[in-house]
């Protein structure tokens, strides 16, 4: 089950696996973010903690948006949203973004198979995952962000500007792109280890 927020106006429910918001970034701001893409700063995506490419599990391109003055406004908005979501739904102990945001591009044939954003090593502190949809859904086919919830596959909304927030330990995937290009921002809010 998902909850849709028109930013600041939550729909209430008793049980939530992921939530999504619209309106945090205006259309001209998502277009501004898309213009940050720089082929010279782009790398082939790997799995966290693994320097090797595993094209059977993940195939996409990423560019890191470091927490610099140029991107601070993105970090600030996402941090505020993470705090709001956490205070209303998850109640995790959070400290902030400990890894750079990823500007991600999925082209035809790209995908990310079932995985968790939480694990050992550098990703063990991840608590909340966030995905910002930057592409218009008419610009690509496939590329759905999906969650496995009690053996049921649930697809997240695709509208441009939608932000999906979910616990980092939720099983999810991005289905293969069959046409066009899907771009998004992916980030993780970290905190003390779960106890």
DSSP states of 182-193 = EEEEEEEEE-SP
pLDDT over 50 (residue 7): no
Whether 165 contacts 20, CB under 8 Å:
yes
Query: Over the stretch 37-69, which tens digit does the pLDDT of each residue have?
Result: 999 998 887 665 555 556 778 889 999 999 999
* Residue 9: strand, helix, or coil: strand
What is the pLDDT at residue 16?
53
CA 135 from centre of chain: 13
What is the pLDDT at residue 174?
97
Is the pTM of the predicted complex or chain greater than 0.95? no
What is the pLDDT at residue 165?
96
What is the pLDDT at residue 24?
93
Query: Over the stretch 98-141, which tens digit does the pLDDT of each residue have?
Result: 999 999 999 999 999 999 998 877 778 999 999 999 999 999 99
* Residue 85: strand, helix, or coil: helix
What is the pLDDT at residue 38?
93
Mean pLDDT of 30-37: 96
* Residue 11 pLDDT grade (very low, low, confident, very high; cuts 50, 70, 90): very low
Which residues have a Cβ under 8 Å from the Cβ of 58 and sit 6 or more positions away? 45, 46, 47, 111, 112, 113, 115
DSSP H or E run through 76: helix 72-85
- What are the structural domains of the chain? 17-190 (2.60.120.620)
Whether 57 contacts 112, CB under 8 Å:
yes
* Residue 187: strand, helix, or coil: strand
Residue 43: closest CA among 101, 102, 98 = 102
Which residues have a Cβ under 8 Å from the Cβ of 148 and sit 6 or more positions away? 114, 170, 171, 172, 173
């Amino acid at each position: 089950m998902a909850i849709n927020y028109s930013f600041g106006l939550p729909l209430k429910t008793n049980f939530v696996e992921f939530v999504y918001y619209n309106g945090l970034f205006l259309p001209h701001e998502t277009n501004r973010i898309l213009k940050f893409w720089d082929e010279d700063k782009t790398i082939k995506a790997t799995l966290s903690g693994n320097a090797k490419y595993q094209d059977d599990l993940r195939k996409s391109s990423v560019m890191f948006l470091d927490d610099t003055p140029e991107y601070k406004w993105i970090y600030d908005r996402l941090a505020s949203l993470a705090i709001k979501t956490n205070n209303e739904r998850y109640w995790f102990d959070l400290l902030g973004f400990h890894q750079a945001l990823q500007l991600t591009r999925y082209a035809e044939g790209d995908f990310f198979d079932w995985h968790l954003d939480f694990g050992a090593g550098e990703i063990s502190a991840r608590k909340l995952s966030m995905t910002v949809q930057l592409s218009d859904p008419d610009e690509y086919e496939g590329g759905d962000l999906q969650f496995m919830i009690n053996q049921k596959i649930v697809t997240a909304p695709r509208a441009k500007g939608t932000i999906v927030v979910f616990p980092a330990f939720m099983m999810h995937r991005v289905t293969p792109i069959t046409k066009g290009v899907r771009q998004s921002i992916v980030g993780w809010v970290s905190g003390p280890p779960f106890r």
